[in-house]
Chain A
Amino acid sequence: MAEYWGIKVEDIFNTMQERFRPEGAKDVDAVFGYDIKDEGKWKLTVKNNEMKIDKTSDLAGCIATMEADGETFVGVNTGKVDATNAFMSGKVKVEGDMGAFGKTGKLFRKYVIAQKEMTVKDYLADMFATVVSRFKAKEAEGLEASFAFDLGGQEGGKWTVFIKDKVCTVTTTIEGKPTVTLEFNDAKDYVDFILGKIDAQSILAAGKASAKGDINMMASKWPILFEKYKDPMGGNIPEQELIVLKKTISVNQKFSTGPIMGKFLKGLKDKKIYANKCPQCGRLQLPPREVCAECRVRAADFVEVGPKGEVRYMDLVYYAMPDPLTGVARETPYGGINILFDGCKGNETLPHFIRKDQIEKIQMGWNEKKGTRVRPVWEENRTGDIWDIKYFEIDE
C-alpha cells in the first residue's frame, strides 16, 4: 500500500472510529461509500449517533459514493490538499446524493499527522547536513575561513565548516587550526541556541560554552554567510500567527413601503394580488414599482390579477443559501418560481416559492407551451408581507 505524507489510505479509515464526533452525526441515518482507486472500497454506516466502517467489494445501497485516488484522499483528509479545489477540478467525485454526502464533513475530527520527535542527534545531523545548502556564496567573496564546532555530551560530536573560493565544505572532525572554534559542554544547548530557545549571552555567561579564535567571524560573519536554520518540526507553522477577527455586523432597519408597494402589500392581507399598470405602454408590474422604467412615467393605476397562474420558470436551488435577513441557511433543494398570473402576459411574472414536495412535478412554460398551474397558499394571520403567501402549490 502506498504512503502519502507517511500515511496510508487505510490509516484514515482505521482511525475513523476514534475521530468520530457523535454530535456531528445527529439526524444522519445513511450508508456512504468510498471508492479509492487501486486501494479498495469502504462502506461507512451511520445510525443512531454511531458509526461502522467496513472494507467491502460491493458499494450497492450507498446513498452517495466518493471516488478519488489515494493521494487525493489522504491529502484532503490531512489538509495537505485543498478540498474545494480537488472537488471542483474533478479529482474528488461524488456519485449519488451530493447533499447527503455533504453531511460527512461534520462526522469526524481531522486526521492529524503524527509528528516524529527529533532528538538532539537528529537535529545536529540535520543542521550540519543543511549547511552547504544554506551557504550564500556571494557573501563569501575573497573569504577563506574555517569554523569548528566541538559539541560535548552523549549526543555531541565535532564538525568543521570550511569556506574557500566561494565553496563551502563540511567535515565531521576538527582539523588543523580553525579560524574560530565554538565549544559547548552539552550539544543540547547548541541545538536550543540555534532553534532560538535560549540566547547566546546566557550560555556564555553561565560558562556552558566558549569561543576561541576570531570570535567576530562566528558572531557577525556566520549569520551573513548562511541562511537561518529552519526547524523541520515547525515547518508548517508560520512565524507570525495571522489573527482573523470574526464579527457579525447589523444595523436595525425600518423599511418604508410607500404608496405603491404599500398598496400591493396591503392587498396581500385581503388575499388579493395587485399589479400596477403603465398608463402609456400598458405593461403590468409585479411587485409594482413607482414608474414604468421603459416609458419613464408614474404608474399609479392598479389591476387585480391571479391569484392563480402558471409557472413560467423555476430555479431549482441546491446551494444552501443563507437568508440575508435571518442568517439562517434555507433548506435545500427548494424551488424559486416565476408565476404568470391570470391577467398578466409575457414576462409580467412574480417570484415566490413552490411547495417543497411538488418541485419535481413542475413544468415550466415556454413560448406557447403552458406551465404547471399553481395557486397561492395563504397564511392565516396576514400582516402585509411576502410571507402572507406561504408558498404556491399545484392547482389540481
Chain B
Amino acid sequence: MAKKIAICAVAQIKNDPDYHYLRFQNMLLECFESIIKQTKVTFDMEKGIRTIITCSDDVFDARTISNNGITDVVGAHFRGEEKMAQESINGLGYAMACILSGHDDLILFMGHCKESQGESRRMVSNLAYDPFYCRPLGMDYHNVDAMQARAYMEKSKVTDEHLAKIVVRSRKNGKQNPYGRENKIVTEKEAMQSPMYSDPLREIYIYPVTDWAYGMLLCSEERAKEFTNNPVWITGYGSCMDTYFLGDKDLTSNFSLKNAAQRSYAKAGIKDPRKEIQLFELSDHAAYQLPMWAEGVGIADEGNGGKWIDDGGMDKFNVNLSGGQLNGNPLLLGGAARAIECYYHLSNQAGTRQVKNAKRAVAQATYGGAGQHQAVIVMES
C-alpha cells in the first residue's frame, strides 16, 4: 500500500473574468471561512494547523513576496506559511512531503490569482524568458505554445476541426460546473471562424483570463477522520523539468510529462492508467494540449492524438469533465482546479458531472511555455 495523505475538504469561488470589486484577500477569505466551517479545524499549536502552504505569483500580483499580503486571511498569523511559487499542483506534492515527513500532520493549502489585475498576461509570461535573447524576440507562453501546437498537430494528425471540437466540449462541460467560468457556448463552425491569435491557435483555443481562489485541508492518514467521513487520498506525485531553449528539445516528445506521470504512477502503484484510472483532469492551457497531454499520461497512443479524439477518447476516459483549464482557470492554479474536480468525483459530490464508481483519478498540470515543467498527481477514493 502506497503512502498517502488525505484531502478532507475543498473550497473555491467561482472562476470569473474580473473580480473588480474584490481584492485577492477577499477572494481567499471566502475559501478560508468555508474550510473552517466544513471541518471545524483550529489553529491550536498542538492539534491544529501550524503550517499553511499558499500558491501565488509575484509578477501576477505585482507584489514582491506575493504571500505577504495574505498572512491574515489564510490564518497564518503566528503560524508557519510557505509559498509554492510554481504551478499549484506542486503545492499538493509538497504538502504530501510535509505530512509524510512527520513535520506536520495538518496542512491548509490556499491559492489565489487575479489575472485581470495586470494589463496583459502575455507581458507576464514574456518575463519568464531570458532578458538577452528570447525576451526581446517576444516569446511568451502563448506564442511558444503555438510553435508546439504546430509541431504536435503535424505529428499526431490533429486538425483545426479537432481543436474546435475540444473547445465546444470544454464549454459545454464548463456549464455543468457550478464554479466554472461563464463562457459563451459556441459551435464548431463558429470556433473555426473565430480570429487567429498565435497561428495555429485561435483566441478561443486558449484559456481565457480568469480570477480565482481556492482552499484545501490536507492531513495525515491517521487524522482524516477528525475532519471528514469522506476523505480523498493523494497517493502519488511526480514532476519533471525540461530544458529551456526551444532548440534544445523536441517540442512533441512529451519528455517532461512522461517522466512526471511515470514517477507519480510508480509512487501510487499504477501499472496501466487506462484500466486503473477512471477520471483524468488535464491542464489544457490551449486546446491542442488536451490530446497531447493525453498521450503523455498514457491514455492516447503516441502520435495518434487526432484519431484518439475521433474515436471518442475524451469521453471514454472521462477527460476534463470540469471544462478543463480551457474553460478558464488562472494559469498558475490549473492544477489545484484539476485536483478539486477529481476530489468532487472521488467523494461523490460532482453533481451532474459525476463519474459513477470513480475510484482513482489523475490531475495533471504544467507551467512554462510548451509544457516545460510538468507534474501529475494520483488521487483515490
Contact = CB atoms under 8 A, between A and B. Distances in A.
Q: Determine direct contact between A and B, CB below 8 Å.
A: yes
Interface of A: 245, 247, 249, 251-261, 289-294, 296, 298
B73 A291 contact: yes
A291 B117 CA distance: 22
A251 B120 contact: yes
A290 B72 contact: yes
A296 B119 CA distance: 33
B26 interface: yes
Given A245-B132, A247-B131, A251-B59, A290 B118 contact: no
Contacts of A255: 23, 62, 117
Contact count band on B = 20 to 34
Contacts of A294: 77
Chain B interface secondary structure, helix, strand, loop or mixed?
A: loop
Interface in B169-225: none
Given A296-B43, A296-B75, A253 B21 contact: no
B29 A253 contact: no
Interface string B19-37: 1111101100100010010
A40 to B, nearest CB: 49
A247 B126 CA distance: 14
A290 B25 contact: yes
A224 to B, nearest CB: 36
Contacts of A293: 71-72, 77
B124 to A, nearest CB: 6
Nearest to A254: B117
A291 B29 contact: yes
Nearest to A259: B26
A253 B117 contact: yes
A289 B118 contact: no
Nearest to A324: B64
Contact of A290 (B19, B62, B73, B123): B73
A291 B72 contact: yes
Contact of A251 (B33, B36, B75, B123): B123
A255 B117 CA distance: 6
B117 A258 contact: no
A276 to B, nearest CB: 12
Contacts of B117: 253-256
The list of the 6 closest CB pairs from A to B, nearest first, reads A293-B72, A258-B23, A293-B77, A252-B119, A258-B26, A251-B123
Nearest to B75: A296
A256 B131 contact: no
A258 B62 contact: no
A290 B22 CA distance: 11
Contacts of B21: 256, 258-259
Interface in B63-97: 71-73, 75, 77
A296 B114 CA distance: 23
Given A289-B25, A290-B23, A298-B29, A253 B73 contact: no
